[in-house]
Structure 1
Amino acid sequence: MKKVGIIGGSGFIGSHITQRFLENGFEVKVSATDITKQEKYEHLMELNHSDHLYISELNVENKAQLKEFVKDCDIVVHGGTPFQLDVKDAKSELFDPTIKGTENFLEVINETPTVDKVVLIASVAAWNTNFPFPAGGRISSDTFSEKNTAFMSDESHPYAQAKFIANQTVNDYIKTHPDLDFEITSVSPVGVFGKSLSQREDSVSTGLQYLIKNNLAPNPYIQMFYDTDVEMAIVNVQDVATAIYKAATISGLHGRNYLLSSETYTISDVSLMLNGKPPKHPAKIIYQNQKAERELGQSFQSVMDTLNQYSN
């Protein structure tokens, strides 16, 4: 039985990833920042084949803990970087754990002979830190794919900047280490929506769906979504988990980064669909997904089905 370590495996996306690997016969090790807080991961114990699930305490900035976590894994999925919109100190809350954590992670993996494959959960911000707004010099109807030049602005949200720099760190590492004994593949999902596997209320993705459904704006950043009726590209959390499983188990994908996206709707239409009403405008395809469809064999659910899953 192969073993996968999933950093962030009890979160909104991570729980679905954990489920995918368990149902495909893997032994799964999931990280917890504080193992005493069972409410953070107890929902995983209800999954099928949870007798093959192990919870291990991990602070990704602690290299000794990181070495212990990955030491006997065949595959490691890293989705443990912080995702938050309200930030007091960007350096300590976002930049250090995301960027330094990525540097530590790559160094530790390179010293771990059992690991054959690493999948890093990047973000659409690795391609455009302005998301959900257009990249600089572009308009909202312009399509975007992996062939476009990645865009970063110092005026973008600190979370997006941190994810962009972390992705560049990975790219630089691959270039400067041409003879690695393991493959690194990244995925970059757009706005990840859908139904959570847990009852936790601290997921940013689940919280964002709640805010949009009820037209709530706890900060100026979210208020800007409504003021501009921004066009939001969305992907189903289940599809993200499946794509990550495929990226982890298909060989020959070293150095690639896949955009994961379904359709794009205005925020006002997203709110309507979250309330069981039809959208007023047709869906657009802004962020392209053909590379993931072609190389991962991944299909993507419609946004209407995705939002219906959350609402129900």
Structure 2
Amino acid sequence: MPIVLVTSASGFIAAHILNTFLDSGYNVRGTVRSIASAEHVRQSHAKYLDRLSFVIVEDITKPGAFDEAVKDVDGVIHTQSPFWLKVENNERDLLIPAIQGTIGILESIHKHNSRVKRIVITSSFAALTDLSRGQWPEHTYSEADWNPATYNEAKVGNGAFAYCASKSLAEKAAWDFVEKNRPSFTVSTILPPVVYGPNVHHIRDLAHLNESSAMFYSLMNGSRSDVPPTGFWAIVDVRDAALAHRIAYEKPEAASQRYFVTAGNFSFQQICDILRSEVPELRSKVPEGNAGELLPPVYKVNNEKAQRELGIQFKPLKEIVVATAHNFLKLEKILGQL
């Protein structure tokens, strides 16, 4: 079977991407930042050790960082990009790693591996959204949209603004690279919004979760008395997002396409309502807020292209929430954090 390279193999979404490729019989090479990270992925994907290997890439911004990693692989799934909303320096912590990491891996493939025909890049709803429009109830977001933020605006904006800009600017850099260099490969991009679902990657403890998982867990662990405001009003299950990467890699029709993968709109109030009604043991810990409150006037989202061209039927909100909650309850028992 072909060898597929998955960057940042220890990540939340990447761990599911590993699963969908390994389950389908592929050999997978993952990039990680350290030997310890590689060992963690081996532990979380122990049944696939005969088809799983690693290359250490400590700094994705260094010239040639991916040169060794891309050699002899047949395809690449590039998931690696910083996801921090609280940063000290927007350029150093978000913009440069996101943009240079994306350009760097494309350069390495272009120079060192002509057998790669398809690269799938994990972009984001952040690359679509126009933060200046706010909730923009008259608009429906789709693959036709682009975040208009500039690099100079992102340098001085707040962390959330800079993160969103980093995703847009990195994706644009990828398309510009293909247009300029006419490489032997094509690029497809997957654009998920807020991503929840079961964690299958290594988690040391529940105090050190990725940004999205930490937010979800705070809704069910008794640490919040109020329902927080919803910042982004679209959601997807991590398993669907991962599946989209594999299908986009495999389908010839997905070449040079963007795919907005989303189950639809949601709010944190809706998540809390589902937790309180569907996971009874959490009822006393989950903030009640304004139970049953409908979504306010907000933008709509269009997932028709992903459904039609990738054939994905997205898991509904209730299924996403219940699966995520049960996963955290299981992790609490395993990690002894009841």
Is the 8 Å Cα contact of residues 262 and 302 (structure 1) preserved in structure 2?
Answer: yes
| Gap change, CA 1:137 and 1:91, over 3 Å in 2 | closer
Segments of 4+ in structure 1 off by > 6 A? none
Q: Is structure 2 residue 316 aligned with structure 1 residue 299? A: no
Is the 8 Å Cα contact of residues 136 and 151 (structure 1) preserved in structure 2?
Answer: no
CA distance in 1, matches of 2:235, 2:173: 26
Q: Counterpart in 1 of 2:136?
A: 139
2:49 maps to amino acid: S
Deviation of 1:55 (Å): 1.9
CA distance in 2, matches of 1:158, 1:266: 23
Is the 8 Å Cα contact of residues 3 and 26 (structure 1) preserved in structure 2?
Answer: yes
Q: Counterpart in 2 of 1:115?
A: 116
CA distance in 2, matches of 1:276, 1:18: 33
CA distance in 1, matches of 2:40, 2:92: 22
Deviation of 1:276 (Å): 4.2
Q: Counterpart in 2 of 1:52?
A: 51
**Which moved further from structure 2: 9-18 or 281-290?**
281-290
Considering only CA atoms, is the larger Rg found in Structure 1 or Structure 2? Answer: 2
RMSD of equivalent CA atoms = 2.6
Q: Is structure 2 residue 198 aligned with structure 1 residue 186? A: no
1:308 maps to amino acid: V
Deviation of 1:71 (Å): 0.7
User: Secondary structure of the residue that 1:298 maps to in structure 2?
Assistant: coil
Deviation of 1:25 (Å): 0.9
2:245 maps to amino acid: I
Q: Counterpart in 2 of 1:209?
A: 216
CA distance in 1, matches of 2:6, 2:39: 18
**How many residue pairs end up in the alignment?**
299
Q: TM-score, normalised by structure 1?
A: 0.86
Q: Deviations over 1:111-159 (max 9, x none)?
A: 12121110000011111153xxxx5276246321123454437345211
Q: Counterpart in 1 of 2:333?
A: none
Deviation of 1:101 (Å): 1.4
Q: How does 1:213-228 map to 2 (within 5 A)?
A: 213-214=220-221, 226=228, 228=229
Deviation of 1:296 (Å): 1.0
2:263 maps to amino acid: S
2:315 maps to amino acid: Q
Is the 8 Å Cα contact of residues 278 and 322 (structure 2) preserved in structure 1?
Answer: no
Is the 8 Å Cα contact of residues 174 and 255 (structure 1) preserved in structure 2?
Answer: no
Is the 8 Å Cα contact of residues 140 and 301 (structure 2) preserved in structure 1?
Answer: yes
Q: Counterpart in 2 of 1:25?
A: 25
Q: How does 1:119-268 map to 2 (within 5 A)?
A: 119-128=120-129, 130=131, 136=133, 139-140=136-137, 142-152=139-149, 154=153, 155=157, 157-177=161-181, 179-200=182-203, 201-214=208-221, 226=228, 228-230=229-231, 232-268=233-269
Deviation of 1:199 (Å): 4.5
| Gap change, CA 1:235 and 1:242, over 3 Å in 2 | same
Deviation of 1:92 (Å): 1.3
Q: What residue ranges of structure 2 are gaps of 5+ in the alignment?
A: 280-290, 327-338
Q: Is structure 2 residue 292 aligned with structure 1 residue 280? A: yes
Q: Deviations over 1:50-99 (max 9, x none)?
A: 31011221132234441100111101000011111221122111111111
| Gap change, CA 1:22 and 1:289, over 3 Å in 2 | same
CA distance in 2, matches of 1:303, 1:38: 32
Deviation of 1:166 (Å): 0.6
Is the 8 Å Cα contact of residues 22 and 50 (structure 1) preserved in structure 2?
Answer: no
Deviation of 1:105 (Å): 1.5
Q: Deviations over 1:23-71 (max 9, x none)?
A: 111110011111134564243332x433101122113223444110011
Is the 8 Å Cα contact of residues 21 and 28 (structure 1) preserved in structure 2?
Answer: yes
Deviation of 1:231 (Å): 5.8
Q: Deviations over 1:252-308 (max 9, x none)?
A: 323211101012122222223244459715679822110111111111000110010
Q: Is structure 2 residue 106 aligned with structure 1 residue 99? A: no
